[in-house]
Structure 1
């Protein structure tokens, strides 16, 4: 009943993952492995191709470096997916997509995952919020480590192959779902263990910016249950996020022209929406961020 679609950096997924899925899913399934060992495909193309090869009414797109820690997780997942107007279901996500590109985890995040960290050489069980009594929490963006949906949803959305690479496919497909009138959820009765962290380099921010530009006319997006207090502070949040975006772009190798062009786009867009603020001495700030990064490099 579930088609599990995986884009692999190898010709096949690990035996451990195959056995783990078989022993935990609890119902009929198929695995569709997209061999990307030669790096021919973007994640957007690979997932659309995987969908075209699938047969079952429920779809689950997952990373290859995970292990499921819940028995009969497939049965539980389908119960969530059968909710009326259900869009994308996952195990981590955020309730807010502001006008300014940022990680979903920066504000109003909801998670249920065992996450491994390189620096700490350890793993951590994360449940946010700790006291959440709901089995499902509505979000806007679902993290790409685990994306599930009904097959019929693909008549309304698909992975956007105009975007290249391996980043922000989760942001884009999640926003597509919300704009099409569906509701996305993080669920708390499916647990998986994820053995790697995301890497936020220039390619990550390039795709994130592309997705935010694509959906600029629809932003900000927030779930209906957010407090009015949160909504009142959107401008403050966006001001903080714009400054952080500029710092991140400077540190990950964007040119001054690329940064100022991006800044101008989002400032102009905000101004058209009646939100007015600006950063003073922008080019000077970028210069000193890049200089500081260079000094740290030569101190190593």
Structure 2
């Protein structure tokens, strides 16, 4: 019934997640492990390779640092994906994808829908549960790629964009975007609890791929399953732009890119003190960089 597709670099981690899945899934399944130990694939290409190999019609694309806490979760996935209106299923996502370069949580926590148990380096866990409606299944705009499921026919029509996204970021947001904008639902289930052993890395590679996503989708953003007021929209966009501009500055991206995003911030609110602080930070960072080059 389910093909579990894993881009793997670590045989020990692969064995652990495979054992967890097999012990809890409760339906016929296969593990489709795509060996990426040499870094020969970006995750989009790896997932496309894995989906091509899959023998079942339901696909679960998943990280190797997750564990399953829900017995019989495979039946839950099967039942949900029998609905032809559902294109992607995950366990954490955002209901609105802003126009600014942002991850799925860029809409703010009020519009996030989550059910993930996060494991931290010191061994403690924290449950991220955001389900104000008390739903079993809720619609979102995009989901996080730690675990996301689709029917094979959906993937075949809208495969991962391995030409644009050659690294390990924004593959999930772009996949959901394509499917959402073609009229299928992107959903979060609250009936499956997954433990995740990584919070992800928002680094220079993440910023590069955020810019790629922005370039590809700029005419299609924003979108979502909610319609914010103009004031809410402006607030979300400004905060997301400020956060992204800060990352551009800290990762020392070229001046023309930083100035482009500073200008976008200023258009929303010219005298916003956080934007002015970012401008000062950029000037200071530029002077430091120039000093080191002399």
Q: Same fold (TM over 0.5)?
A: yes
In angstroms, what is the RMSD of aligned CA positions? 2.5
User: Which aligned pairs between 1:188-207 and structure 2 lie closer than 5 A?
Assistant: 188-207=190-209
Distance (Å, rounded) in 2 between the aligned partners of 1:39 and 1:228: 41
User: Which aligned pairs between 1:20-169 and structure 2 lie closer than 5 A?
Assistant: 20-106=20-106, 107=108, 108-118=111-121, 121-129=123-131, 131-162=132-163, 163-169=165-171
How far apart are 1:133 and its partner, in Å?
1.9
Q: How many correspondences in the alignment?
A: 280
* Matched position secondary structure for 1:199: coil
How far apart are 1:35 and its partner, in Å?
0.6
How far apart are 1:193 and its partner, in Å?
0.5
Distance (Å, rounded) in 2 between the aligned partners of 1:19 and 1:244: 39
How far apart are 1:2 and its partner, in Å?
0.4
How far apart are 1:122 and its partner, in Å?
2.0
How far apart are 1:216 and its partner, in Å?
1.1
For the 8 Å contact 2:241–2:261, the answer to whether it is kept is no
Distance (Å, rounded) in 1 between the aligned partners of 2:148 and 2:195: 15
For the 8 Å contact 1:11–1:35, the answer to whether it is kept is no
Distance (Å, rounded) in 2 between the aligned partners of 1:38 and 1:92: 30
Q: Once the two structures are superposed, what CA deviation does each residue of 1:244-300 show, in whole Å capped at 9, x if it has no partner? A: 211111112323233235566xx4xx9xxxx9547687765412356799xxxxxxx
For the 8 Å contact 1:93–1:140, the answer to whether it is kept is yes
**What residue is the counterpart of 1:255 in the other structure?**
254
Distance (Å, rounded) in 2 between the aligned partners of 1:290 and 1:184: 42
How far apart are 1:50 and its partner, in Å?
0.5
Structure 1: gaps spanning 5 or more residues: 294-300
For the 8 Å contact 1:246–1:259, the answer to whether it is kept is yes
Aligned CA distance change for structure 1 residues 57 and 228 (closer, same or farther; 3 Å): same
Structure 2: gaps spanning 5 or more residues: 290-294
Distance (Å, rounded) in 2 between the aligned partners of 1:15 and 1:64: 9
Aligned CA distance change for structure 1 residues 11 and 117 (closer, same or farther; 3 Å): closer
* Matched position secondary structure for 2:247: helix
